[in-house]
Every structure is written in C-alpha cells, then in structure tokens.
Amino acid sequence: MALRIIMMGAPGAGKGTQAQRIAATYGVPHISTGDIFRAHLKDGTELGRKVRGYLDAGELVPDEVTCDIVAGRLAEADCANGYVLDGFPRSIPQAEALGRFLDARNEQIDVVIDVAVPDEEIVGRLTARRTCKKCGAIYNLKFSPPASGDGTRCDRPGCDGELSQRGDDQEETIRQRLRVYHETTEPLLAYYDEHGILKSVPGSGLSPDGVFEKIEEILSAAGLS
C-alpha cells in the first residue's frame, strides 16, 4: 500500500526532523524542497543561481519553478509506493498543482500532518539548529545536541560529519520566513481541513521522539501503518 504524507508547519517546527523519522520507519523517500534547493546552491547549478536570492531573503521561490521540480521528483521510480513531502506545498497554487498531478495519476494524499509550534519559540530554536554536512541529520545545540563529542560533529554511527549552520537561520531572515508562512502557507491548513485529511501534532513541549510517537498513533489510527 502506498503512503503519501505532507508535513506542514512553520519554519523550524520540526518538519524535517519528523520527515526523516517517517522515511526511515516506513521506507518512503523524504522529499524536502528546501533540501533540493540547497543542494543546487551548493553545486552551483543554474537552478541554484535562480533560487539563491529567494532563499537568502526568506521569500518563496516562484510557484512555477517549485512545482516543476516537484513534479519531476514525484515521477521518479522510488516514489511509486509513496513519499513524505516536507516544505511543499506552501501556497494554494502549489496545492492545486499537486492536486492536478495526483488526479492525473489517480492517486491521493493520505494525510497532512501539521506540526504546531508557537512563533515565540521559533527564533531561539532556529538560531541553535545545526545540520550534518555529510548525512543531513538535524541537531539543536539547545534541545538535541549530538550525544557524543564536543558538539561540532555528527554522532550517527559511522558518519562523524561536520555540523553547519544554514544561511537563512539568521534572526531577521527567520522573522521574514515566519511572515511568509503566516501569509501564504498557513491558509493551506484550512484547505486540507476541508479535504478532511488534516491532522495536527504538538511540535513543542515534547522531544522529537515524543512528537514522532504522536505521528505513529495518527498513521495507525488511519489504518496507514
């Protein structure tokens, strides 16, 4: 049975943290549009040059560009049994484009999971985020630092990659990302609620593992696991 999930939530809510766990547990690919764009920035591709200004400013990449990238990715063979989308869709036009893509293939999204975190927690969280350059593991110097070493290297077995800070995790850019989230992305919660597939989990006051337990409960109650 295919499993198609959308992770929703403000910048820093924990979409990536939870999507990595879902992907590892249920064997579906984790598709993060932010990660795709950052890989292009790093590789200096034409797409990377096109999107850099938007990422640096905390603005959304134009819908057309983003939807093309996602449609290409979802058509790849490893998506046949589903996927967990992280950071897409992020606007009503993106959700409509995804809907058309799925309709044409006679497929549907099973569940949209909103990870809810109050705005006032976001800035502190994101300024302390670090990501492994090698495997992409997500850490937090305050809330979930690497368990071993001096806090500058990844502690996943066999990795030892260097941890780095994202260019858009600066206070001013974080505040702009939050504004964009409330204005353009948050309306998707009502959109998917109307479709009857929206679920919500608390994204703060619980550890990442605690949040993941809530997600597993939702998936199992919906007969999806």
Whether the CB-CB separation of 111 and 219 falls below 8 Å is answered with: yes
Query: What is the closest distance, in whole angstroms, from the C-beta atom of residue 108 to ligand AP5 in the complex?
Result: 19
- The rounded distance, in Å, linking the Cα atoms of 155 and 147 is 7
154 binds, among Mg ion, Zn ion, ligand AP5, none (CB under 5 to 8 A by kind): Zn ion
Selected catalytic residue, list 4, 21, 177, 214: 177
| 211 contact, one of ligand AP5, Mg ion, Zn ion, none, CB 5-8 Å limit per kind | ligand AP5
Residues in touch with ligand AP5 (CB under 6 A): 9, 11-17, 33-34, 37, 54-55, 58-61, 66, 87-88, 90, 94, 125, 129, 138-140, 143-144, 177, 203-204, 206-208, 211
Residue 37: C-alpha distances to residues 52, 61, 72, 118 (Å):
8, 9, 14, 26
Rounded Cα distance between 222 and 225, Å, is 8
129 is catalytic: yes
Q: CA 130 to CA 121: how far, in whole Å? A: 16
Residue with tokens 């979409």: 15
State which residue, 111 or 188, has the beta carbon closest to ligand AP5.
188
Smallest separation (angstroms) from ligand AP5 to the CB of 104: 20
Q: Strand, coil or helix: what is 160?
A: coil
How many Å apart are CA 130 and CA 14, to the nearest integer?
13
H/E element holding 131?
strand 129-132
- Catalytic annotation, pick one of 129, 153, 199, 214: 129
Q: Catalytic: 166? A: yes
CA-nearest of 111, 222, 127 to 171 is 127
Give catalytic status of residue 133 as yes or no: no
| Pairing status of strand 3-9 against strand 129-132 | unpaired
- Could you give the string, one character per residue 146-185, with x where binding to Zn ion holds by CB under 5 A and - elsewhere? --------x-x--x-x------------------------
> Which residue has the CB atom at the shortest distance from ligand AP5?
34
- Specify the DSSP class assigned to residue 61: P
* Residue 16 engages Mg ion in binding (rule: CB under 5 A): yes
Catalytic residues: 15, 90, 129, 166, 177
Judged by the rule CB under 5 A, the positions of this chain that interact with Mg ion are: 16
